[in-house]
Structure 1
Amino acid sequence: MWRFFFIIIFVLSLAGCSVTIDSKNSESNSDELSQEQQQKDETNGTDSVAEQDSEQNQDSNGFIDLLENVFNIDWSTRVDIEARDVRYLALGDSLTRGVGDETQEFGYTIRLQKELEKWPAVKQVELDNRGKNGRRSDQLLGLLQKGHYDEEIAEADLITLTLGGNDVMKVVKKHLFSMQKSMFDKQLPKFMVNYEEIMSEIRMRNPEVPIILVGFYNPFSIIVDETTPFDPIIHEWNIEIEKMAQQDENACFVSIEDLFTSNEDMVYHVDFFHPNSAGYDRMTRRIIETMQQCNIKEMSDGLFGFEEWENGNE
């Protein structure tokens, strides 16, 4: 915008400096002037025009110099002068790893990385994806307690976390032919203790980093194509994660359980358990929308935002 502003001023300045020479009455006065006086006047007129041209050139050159000095700042880019590289750490299970994404873009993580890089305060996003297929809350907690990812967490400018699906699947596998809701109700407090301790481990290493807690969905709905007993179970677990996020001023919960209730839009991978690329696209949109609602710009002191999304160009 500044470039066009200065160009307009520059053009108007040059237009205002244009010189016109009125010689309308030169012929009518030529008979009254002597040849010597006429030559003298012509000489003076030439000098006057030359002086005006010289002044015009000086003004133009000075203005051009000013523009060149201004344009030493790269106004053509959307990146702020003080934009910096940021580190994005992704922790969690197969959803973080991007299992099922046929484009090999690590699911939502690379998609989110690309959107973050569009923000003027961000020069480049370094993604460190530590997701692992099958990871449960107790497994991630054990790694953190042993000092894994200490440096990565301490240096992170943004952290995303996906957990819960494999904790539920552990109950399913253990009680496949005798499942009751009470079994999941018994496991939920253990899961939440693990989750809270994971958050505590992260906060000990990085007290203010924004943490995006992504919920999980019921993959069995696609198999039976109807409401299953797992729907209220998944919902209750997500509610508890959301409550925990609300207790941390720099945490934000993202609900995705409604995004994968059917496969009408072909959002599932061929394993009918993980999202495909279209599913991860949908998941990324939800994450960004929720980050905006959580005011990620204020949460990150202006470091993160989504300008194009705010302008309705998604």
Structure 2
Amino acid sequence: MALAAKKTTKSVRPVAKKQLQITAIGDSLTQGVGDSAKDQGYVGLLKKTITKKYPKTKVTTANFGVGGNTSAQILDRVLNDPKITASVQKADAVVMTMGGNDIMQVISKDPLHVTTQAVDTKAQAACKNLTQIIQKIRTVNSQVPIFVIGLYNPFYVLMPTVTTMQAAVHSWNAGTQAALKLQNRSYFVPVDAILTKGDAKTKKAVAKRLKSVATTKQAQAASNSSSKKEPELTNPYLYKKDHFHPNHVGYEKMTTELYQVMADHKKLWLYQKK
């Protein structure tokens, strides 16, 4: 008796969508402040990145970034702006930034004497706002993947010995990651490691500065002499006019990190449904 021929199944390669809608919501980082190339910061660069990798896909972006917005103000816009609702409803992916202005409200009052409790309290409140934003998004688009970009410390290179801001950044990032883990299809994009300390040359200069500070303190303790003023260091990834927002190179670094996380979950936003 002849054996029945085995059926072979061909694996079908996923096909990228012909059109993609990316909705961006947030503060000045989403707005693209500091990008001298006028690419709308990471939003415009993300569009270019996807278009380059998938030239047959038409990528459309909607940018709802507003400089100076706190998480509470962003939440208010998400809840009440019909344009944001309409954009989210048809979005294939949502990307967000928030939290920097919340943290600055605490830090700017007295940066050298801010307590951990004050920072944690503000971070917890901001994370609650983030959760409400995601819940609102889910009411109009239950399946859209959401990517939230974390914070970095813009003051580290200028003031590496001041640890308050770094503690605040770590608190916010940890809280954000914890909040996102409780939400479906919501992902954290870390940028602290890549943006805070600048490039290799800057990292080396900062390390040398920190060593010099420690040596100077020891010398002062021994001789009671005044400290020598060191030349100012700057972060090459930040906008020169404010030393706070990313410059074009900084936004490129941010976009690379964002796309890497998005690529890990591209089946949720890139491919056509079978």
Match of 2:238 among 264, 268, 282: 268
1:297 and 1:303 in contact (8 A); partners too: no
Partner of 1:90: 24
- Which protein, 1 or 2, shows the higher relative CO under an 8 Å CA cutoff with sep ≥ 6? 2
Alignment of 1:245 with 2:216, yes or no, is no
Residue type of the alignment partner of 2:185? N
Structure 1 unpaired stretches of 5+: 1-79, 305-314
Deviations 1:89-109 (A, max 9, x none): 111011111111110101111
Query: How big is the shift at 1:137?
Result: 0.5
Query: How big is the shift at 1:238?
Result: 0.5
Number of aligned positions between the proteins: 223
Residue type of the alignment partner of 2:246? P
Query: How big is the shift at 1:249?
Result: 3.4
Residue type of the alignment partner of 1:125? V
1:216 and 1:255 in contact (8 A); partners too: yes
Query: How big is the shift at 1:189?
Result: 1.9
- TM-score, normalised via structure 1 length: 0.65
Name the Cα RMSD after superposition: 2.4
CA distance in 2, matches of 1:284, 1:254: 10
CA distance in 2, matches of 1:174, 1:109: 31
Residue type of the alignment partner of 2:155? F
CA distance in 2, matches of 1:255, 1:227: 22
Residue type of the alignment partner of 1:216? L
Deviations 1:35-94 (A, max 9, x none): xxxxxxxxxxxxxxxxxxxxxxxxxxxxxxxxxxxxxxxxxxxxx6x8422211111011
Partner of 2:250: 279
Partner of 2:119: 184
Residue type of the alignment partner of 1:268? L
Deviations 1:158-200 (A, max 9, x none): 1100001000011123445752222112222211111110111
Residue type of the alignment partner of 2:183? D
Partner of 1:76: none
CA distance in 2, matches of 1:192, 1:105: 29
CA spacing shift, 1:177–1:238, aligned 2, 3 Å: closer
Percent same amino acid at aligned positions? 29
Q: Any idea what SS the aligned residue of 1:288 has? A: helix
Q: Which segment is superposed worse, 240-249 or 88-97? A: 240-249
Q: Any idea what SS the aligned residue of 1:142 has? A: helix
Partner of 1:302: 271
Query: How big is the shift at 1:259?
Result: 1.7
Alignment of 1:290 with 2:261, yes or no, is yes
Larger Rg: 1
CA spacing shift, 1:207–1:185, aligned 2, 3 Å: same
2:69 and 2:101 in contact (8 A); partners too: yes
CA distance in 1, matches of 2:251, 2:188: 17
1:87 and 1:156 in contact (8 A); partners too: yes
CA spacing shift, 1:161–1:83, aligned 2, 3 Å: closer
Alignment of 1:259 with 2:194, yes or no, is yes
CA spacing shift, 1:247–1:299, aligned 2, 3 Å: farther
CA spacing shift, 1:83–1:300, aligned 2, 3 Å: closer
Partner of 1:102: 36
Q: Any idea what SS the aligned residue of 1:283 has? A: helix
Partner of 2:143: 208
Match of 1:138 among 62, 72, 79: 72
1:160 and 1:213 in contact (8 A); partners too: yes
Residue type of the alignment partner of 2:76? G
